[in-house]
Amino acid sequence: MRSVSIIGCGLTKFGEHWEMSFRELIAEAGVKAIESANIEGKTIQAIYGGCMASGRLIGQEHIGALIADQFGLNPIPATRVEAACASGGVALRSGILAVLSGAYDIVAVGGVEKMTEVSTEHASFALGGAGDQETELFHGATFPSLYALMARRHMEEFGTTEEQMAACAVKNHKNACNNPNAQFQRAITIEDVMNSGYVASPLKLLDCSPITDGAATLILCETEKAKKLCENPVEIIASTQASDSLALTGRKSLTEMAATKIAAKEAFEKAKLQAKDIDFAEVHDCFTIAEILATEDIGFFKKGEGGKAVEKGKTSLDGEIPINPSGGLKAKGHPVGATGVAQAIETFLQLRGEAEKRQVKDAKIGLTHNVGGSGATAVVHIYKAIGGKR
């Protein structure tokens, strides 16, 4: 059977790029990826680009065509993929399926968002489109308030504390201090989080991921060909996706994300692995409670134990299951269309032993988890270092 591997990557610094345009962000990440893979642009047979809200944020649609045009790669097919904050992860899955099908041998997968050229209110409204506009956004329920509902229910059912959520932010900022592409490369304390002011109780400012500009690109290749082109490709051994109700009102529970549970279960089955076999994970921590939910729903911890686990250091870089060594969305940044691709890039670097001061020791198997909206879309990928354990 055909398999797919990553042979190159490119990432811009995440942050507020007042001096760079949307096109320039795409160009920087793409050029870096092509150079990293040591290939020529003309060898790329198709492009899949994740982008959530460029129409609302910068007035530009038809992003697939823009990317192909920007790189001089016409007439190859270029497709924009949109799945809210999971756009990058679904773009990656689209590229994987295209190679697995035999349609192509080499494809580029990208993600991009330029979010800081509009007001916070405008950006929040654009992001609100990832939820149910009729039952949520139009009634004032923005994403901080939706995730605050989940957090409050988790606290009520399992005794999770605001300090445990704050510990997620502290850990991720600590990791981001060693990530040169992270938006926030500074340490914070529990006290900093607790004193940062409520956005939607119990979530405070430092429980929330930032508004970010950035772009990310991966080069995918059929694995046997990848081994000839690259000394140490990283194989993708599972790619799964699941859906849930768009609005929270359609969920059976506010303390779990069913789409995450289903996608993770299917991914482990495809990879013939269990949660205990994963050496590290990049999970979707748009809010600190989201990281706790993810670690439980993926299966790293029992339901209700995620908060205690981070408090005890189990998810730290030297813990039993390092979570978000990149700094996560919280500190690395969250340019929504690029996030899922950036997670895969961190995994690629970790499995090649190229993550420098944030390197997870003896990393052989990694997992990424990308969520759209409040959990209506979930994408899970599992990766292994070629020659690694399986």
Over the stretch 132-178, which tens digit does the pLDDT of each residue have?
989 988 888 899 999 999 999 999 999 999 999 999 999 999 999 99
pTM: 0.97
Rama region for 323: left / alpha / beta (φ>0; ψ in -120 to 50; rest): beta
Count helices and strands (H / E) in the chain. Answer: 14, 11
Longest dimension (CA), the chain: 56
Of the residues 9, 17, 51, 85, which is catalytic?
85
Distance, CA of 110 to CA of 64 (rounded, Å): 10
Please tell me the CATH code under which domain 132-210+237-382 is placed.
Answer: 3.40.47.10
Distance, CA of 340 to CA of 334 (rounded, Å): 9
* Axis-axis angle for helices 288-298, 143-158 (nearest 10): 60
334 is annotated as an active-site residue: yes
Q: Is residue 28 within 8 Å of residue 215, measured between CB atoms?
A: yes
345 or 231: which carries more pLDDT confidence?
345
> Residue 338: pLDDT above 60?
yes
Predicted confidence at residue 141, as pLDDT, reads 87
As a whole number, mean pLDDT of residues 108-135 equals: 93
> Residue 390: pLDDT above 70?
no
As a whole number, mean pLDDT of residues 265-273 equals: 98
Among the residue ranges 46-55, 69-78, 132-141, 180-189, the one predicted with the least confidence is 132-141
For the chain, the C-alpha Rg in angstroms (whole number) is 19
CATH code matching the domain that covers 4-118+212-234, chosen among 3.40.47.10, 3.40.1130.10, 3.20.20.70, 3.30.470.10: 3.40.47.10
pLDDT tens column, 228-245: 999 899 999 999 999 999
Distance, CA of 343 to CA of 340 (rounded, Å): 5
Among the residue ranges 241-255, 351-365, 375-389, the one predicted with the least confidence is 375-389
Predicted confidence at residue 389, as pLDDT, reads 38
- Owner of token pair 């039952």: 135
- Owner of token pair 């399926």: 97
Q: Is residue 67 within 8 Å of residue 111, measured between CB atoms?
A: no
Indicate the domain borders of the chain: 4-118+212-234, 132-210+237-382
Q: Kindly state the tokens that stand for 369.
A: 């988890």
pLDDT tens column, 281-332: 999 999 999 999 999 999 999 999 999 999 999 999 999 999 999 999 999 9
> Residue 388: pLDDT above 50?
no
Predicted confidence at residue 362, as pLDDT, reads 95
Task: Tell me: cis bond preceding 75? Omega within 30 of 0 counts.
Answer: yes
Distance, CA of 309 to CA of 283 (rounded, Å): 15
Of the residues 154, 334, 369, 381, which is catalytic?
334
85 is annotated as an active-site residue: yes
- Tell me if domain 4-118+212-234 and domain 132-210+237-382 are identical in fold: yes
Half-sphere exposure for 275 (CA within 13 Å, toward CB)? 18
- Phi, psi angle pair for 279, to nearest 5°: -85, -25
- Average pLDDT along the chain: 96
Predicted confidence at residue 106, as pLDDT, reads 98
Among the residue ranges 120-134, 224-238, 348-362, the one predicted with the least confidence is 120-134
Predicted confidence at residue 387, as pLDDT, reads 58
- Phi, psi angle pair for 27, to nearest 5°: -60, -45
